[in-house]
Amino acid sequence: MRMKGMVVMFALLASTAFAQDLMPKSEISAGYTFGSLDQGSGFSRANSNGWHTGMNTYLSKWLGIEGNFAGLGHTDSASITDPISGNTVSSSVSQKHLTFVAVPRIGFGSSKFNPYFHTLFGMDRMSIDSKSNVLGQAIDISASDTGLAWVLGGGTEIGMTPHFALNTGFDYLMTRHGSASQNNVRLMLGVAYRFGGSAGGK
């Protein structure tokens, strides 16, 4: 009877540990994003600044479901003064991107050092605003378009406390608006808050 009791207790403990190990571990993150945006053939790349936020839930020790929402913006300004009339023509063009992508993340390592890779698909909302001042008359032109987005990259989470981690990332971001594709790069630095257990199920 004593042996049977030990076997039953061991089975209960093992099943409990297995169930706990499969419990989803989640985290939310936010931080700064730097982007290098493709302006098309014949144009230099545009350095952009922005932000990112997201959430990730691990379904196992290595497979997670991730959603990421990020914004990038860039503004170019110029002014020209006619030396004869003294009139000044000024203009500025702002380009903004709002990108939402989701699906799988693969993580490995430990809660203190957790490298990860992800490939995400979603949408990119691009808007362009042009403001000019010609002979005192303001001219504003705006346009926007929603296209496809694809992200391939990864990063590393470095655990600072049981709940907070430093999150770094590097992504190739492909966007497609109309018939043109843009090959962009973005770098991310932020913090992640973990709940429901350590990230990566560790």
Tell me what pLDDT residue 86 has: 67
DSSP for 52-110, please give it.
Answer: EEEEEEESSSSEEEEEEEEEEEEEEEEEEE-TTT--EEEEEEEEEEEEEEEEEEEE-S-
pLDDT tens for the chain, residues 1 to 202:
444 444 444 343 334 333 343 334 889 999 999 999 998 887 889 999 999 999 999 888 889 999 999 999 999 887 777 677 667 778 888 999 999 999 899 988 777 888 999 999 999 999 999 888 877 778 899 999 999 999 999 999 999 988 899 999 999 999 999 888 999 999 999 999 988 765 444 4
Separation between Cα atoms, residue 46 and residue 147, nearest integer Å: 19
Closest CA to 188 of 57, 64, 58, 48: 48
Map out the domains of the chain as residue ranges.
Answer: 24-201
Q: What is the pLDDT of residue 170?
A: 97
Of 3.30.420.40, 2.40.160.20, 3.40.50.300, 3.40.50.720, which CATH number belongs to 24-201?
2.40.160.20
Closest CA to 29 of 197, 195, 201: 195
Cβ-based neighbours of 128, under 8 Å, separated by 6 or more? 93, 94, 95, 96, 142, 143, 144
pLDDT value, residue 197: 60
SS3 of residue 181 by DSSP = strand
* pTM (global) more than 0.85: no
Map tokens 């430990």 to a residue. Answer: 110
Q: Given this model, what pLDDT does residue 133 score?
A: 80
- pLDDT value of position 157: 92
